[in-house]
Amino acid sequence: MIQPLDVVVLISGNGSNLQALIDGMQAGRLPIRINAVISDRPGAFGLERAERAAIAAQAIAPRDFPGKEAWETALAAAIDLHSPGLVVLAGFMRVLSAAFVRHYRGRMLNIHPSLLPKYRGLHTHRRALEAGDATHGASVHFVTEELDGGPVILQAEVPVLPGDDEASLAARVQAVEHVIYPQAVRLFAEGRIRMRDDGQVEYDGMPLTAPLPAQA
């Protein structure tokens, strides 16, 4: 049995991806220990999900600090208290500074609701619909200084169906997010995925040249 990896999860809202990780951990499918969940929004439902799972939950809101730097300093201190081997952004909706991101280089993952490199930033479902795309999806990637631009590890596609609106498409994407995020976290925790100093992702010691699909 490998030693579980210490993980801190950052959220801003509902926390359904956090829930998928909690479920995987509790079912013994994920060799991780979520030590803390931190939200930038005090009312985030994900904090309640954490408390229900007996995980330390805390809000660190930018408005309680004189500026972004002070907020990030407090956030990093709260994270580093747990010496995490991995920081998971799960619907965390703040843009982090380059210095902050560098501090967690190679040990911070994000999930983004698009088939990156398509549709970085916001309103991804609306943009996919407006473009008339036949497929859409979600990507798990290492976080680098470039917003939604870090190397992609796993990607899942969903069809765009006739009659879809933003809500129906978002729901279909979220369903696959809940599959691929735990899978990516497991691969990382097992040491099978890592990001080299030059930004290249390695999978089982070999350069990953295209995102992995959802694992069977």
Q: Minimal distance in Å, beta carbon 177 to ligand GAR? A: 5
**Phi-psi region for residue 165, left (φ > 0), alpha (ψ -120 to 50) or beta?**
beta
Q: Minimal distance in Å, beta carbon 121 to ligand GAR? A: 7
Q: Minimal distance in Å, beta carbon 35 to ligand GAR? A: 19
Cα–Cα distance, 129 to 136 (Å, whole number): 9
Extract the tokens encoding 212.
Answer: 């992995």
**Phi-psi region for residue 214, left (φ > 0), alpha (ψ -120 to 50) or beta?**
beta
- Please identify which of the residues 103, 112, 136, 178 carries the catalytic annotation: 112
133: closest CA among 155, 174, 162, 168? 162
Comparison of 97 and 200: residue with beta carbon closer to ligand GAR? 97
Comparison of 50 and 111: residue with beta carbon closer to ligand GAR? 111
Q: Catalog residues that contact ligand GAR under the rule CB under 6 A.
A: 11, 13-17, 46, 90-91, 111-113, 138, 174, 177
For the CA atoms of the chain, what is the radius of gyration? 17
Return the bridge partners of 139, or none.
112, 155
11: closest CA among 72, 89, 85, 81? 89
Q: Minimal distance in Å, beta carbon 206 to ligand GAR? A: 28
Residue 125 known to be catalytic:
no
Residue number of the CB atom closest to ligand GAR: 91
Comparison of 34 and 198: residue with beta carbon closer to ligand GAR? 34
Comparison of 117 and 191: residue with beta carbon closer to ligand GAR? 117
Angle separating helix axes 166-189 and 16-26, nearest 10 degrees: 40
Extract the tokens encoding 87.
Answer: 């920081």
User: Which residues are part of the catalytic machinery?
Assistant: 112
